[in-house]
Amino acid sequence: MAKSLGESSPLLLPSPGSALQLLRDLWVLAKARVVSLLVFTAAVGELLAPGGIQHWPAAIAGLVGIALAGGAGGVLNQIVEPELDQHMRRTHRRPLAEGRIGRHGAILYALLLLAVAVTVLWIWTNPLTLALTLLGTVGYGVVYTLYLKPSTPWNIVWGGLAGALPPLIGWTAVTGSMAALPLLLVALIFVWTPAHFWPLAIYCRRDYAKACIPMLPVTHGVDRTRREVLLYAVATWIVSLVPAFLNHDWIYGGIAWIAGAWFVGMALRLRKLPEGTEMDLYARKMFAFSITYLFLLFTALLLGKVVMAYGLL
């Protein structure tokens, strides 16, 4: 039987004879799949910034720092929530939840990731980038996890700000300053986050209820949550169009219009479906599509810049 979470060894404990299992557990513990999206949006911020390619050492350092700090935030989140993870279908196999890695070992892992991130950002970027990265890490790993998530159904709205910072961090890594475009991208991810996460919360609402976590579907019901998803989907669509007017980028604008209309259409369908298995499965489908939607928007921003830079149209 695995040791209890409170009595874990201070060392990382892989399954007997399984270094590969340890690597998998470290990957999951750092929430690498989530972090990969943060790194992607940060990379787009760097490539959109003036002179981003010329400042490639700072750009690479910025991405490494964001990845490591984001991983540290993911570890901190799981250090606080192993008991909650045990109640959730999608998280009950996580390393801390099953006791494959001890809490003390996870703390050491988070500190190592954060220390390397701070060192890289301090040496190769600038103080503004370091400050924003630490703000995002503390915002997610501490403020959201410890205070917002267990206390308010609007946790993802305010906690989502931490995950919205990477495009700005990428921009500042290569320029050392802020500008309107990266701030708009922060706003875009900020309003996208509730429309992205609440469909998953609808799908997992029974698990959240068992764990006594006040997610919106638990505290305000499915109908209210679906209405909020629709409102935030419309807000995301509107905000996503602003960069097209700011940059006179109609390639991006056209893609953002079509993709946003599809996203809002999904929210409308989710709103109309009767509660039941079909609605739950559709909510999960919308959650998955929302990730593709954000990826598409940021890819379109790069496409638009390339087209305009080389006069392809």
The total domain count for the chain is 2
Which range of residues forms the domain containing residue 127? 1-178
8-61 pLDDT, tens digit per residue, is 444 445 445 578 888 888 898 899 999 999 999 999 999 999 987 788 999 999
Looking at every residue in the chain, the average pLDDT score rounds to: 90
255 φ, ψ (degrees, to nearest 5) = -65, -45
205-239 pLDDT, tens digit per residue, is 999 998 889 999 999 999 999 999 999 999 999 99
Do 45 and 183 sit in the same domain of this protein?
A: no
If one counts every other C-beta atom within 10 angstroms of the C-beta of residue 261, the result is 11
142-182 pLDDT, tens digit per residue, is 899 889 988 999 999 988 899 999 999 999 999 999 999 99
d(CA 171, CA 157): 23
Tokens of 115: 């220390």
Tokens of 136: 């995002």
* Boundary residue ending a domain (118, 152, 178): 178
Do 208 and 150 sit in the same domain of this protein?
A: no
pLDDT reported for residue 229: 98
pLDDT reported for residue 312: 61
User: HSE of 18 in the Cβ direction (CA atoms, 13 Å)?
Assistant: 12
User: HSE of 156 in the Cβ direction (CA atoms, 13 Å)?
Assistant: 22
Which of 135, 8, 2, 154 has the alpha carbon at shortest distance from 73? 135
